[in-house]
Amino acid sequence: MMDNNKPLCIQSFRVLAKFQQEHVQIFFQEKRDPMTGKRLRKKEPVTLFINNAGILNEYPLECISCIKVRLVDEPRITFICDKKVRLEIGFIIYLVVKFEGNQEYELIVLPQDLGIDVNTLYDLTEKQIANSVVQTMQWVGDRFVYTLTATFDEFDGIIPPGLIASNTLVGNVTLRNTTWTFDIDGVSFDGTGSPPVLATRVDLAIFQDIIIRIGIEQGILVDGEVD
């Protein structure tokens, strides 16, 4: 009888430390002082101005029936100076909307429709910054990019100094429970075009639960039967 038992190497991910925050606002603009315009490094919902429907832009936005967030690619982890971890998430937003006087729903895609059918209160090509754990949100090319930078001290668990210096650490990210809030608030001449057309103001925020695990990949040797 042939013995098919041979040592097998199974790759595993051993978690050493974990960073977890719930209901993190990933789509935000940086709050300004209303008197001076000074940037306050605090989050607030992004103010959008969505062009009204109709030849004369006479039909304001009535409702947003659905919001979807699509990741452009896998979230990326970068280790910085053996002290910090930076998470980067690229995403696109889909809004299914309905205007007064129109029985059909329309699709708005952000950031693709910015400057065409949608305007913003602030220039989102500039980084919007928040200091509660350093975070940024920015319009970059065909996507929005959210970043979060955390020090190892903000993780639960211990990372041995020897592993930090050896460049063997691996990051693993879990995103879950996407939620959002929005307010539809009035009509004004703040849409796109010159002069700006009538548009409906929408204040939109999007949230995610974020879990970052730092660990090492290990090979476990076991005896097993090979088919």
pLDDT confidence of residue 1:
47
Tokens of 178: 């996407």
Tokens of 52: 């009204």
Q: Is residue 10 within 8 Å of 224, Cβ to Cβ?
A: no
What pTM was estimated for this model as a whole? 0.89
Q: Is residue 101 within 8 Å of 23, Cβ to Cβ?
A: no
Q: Is residue 148 within 8 Å of 24, Cβ to Cβ?
A: yes
Query: For the segment 3-19, what is each residue's pLDDT rounded down to a tens digit?
Result: 566 665 565 667 889 99
Distance CA 133, CA 135 (A): 6
Query: For the segment 49-98, what is each residue's pLDDT rounded down to a tens digit?
Result: 999 999 999 999 999 999 999 999 999 999 888 789 999 999 999 999 99
pLDDT confidence of residue 15:
80
- Any residues with CB less than 8 A from the CB of 193 and at least 6 apart, and which? none
Query: For the segment 175-211, what is each residue's pLDDT rounded down to a tens digit?
Result: 999 999 999 999 999 999 999 999 999 999 999 999 9
Distance CA 77, CA 159 (A): 16
**Residue 29 Cα distances to 37, 76, 127, 154, 211, angstroms:** 13, 22, 9, 24, 23
Higher per-residue confidence, 221 vs 134: 134
| Strand residues in 154-198 grouped as ranges (E) | 156-157, 170-188
Distance CA 46, CA 205 (A): 6
pLDDT confidence of residue 166:
62
Distance CA 124, CA 154 (A): 28
99 CB burial (10 A radius; 0-12, 13-18, 19+): buried
Query: For the segment 23-60, what is each residue's pLDDT rounded down to a tens digit?
Result: 999 999 999 999 999 999 999 999 999 999 999 999 99
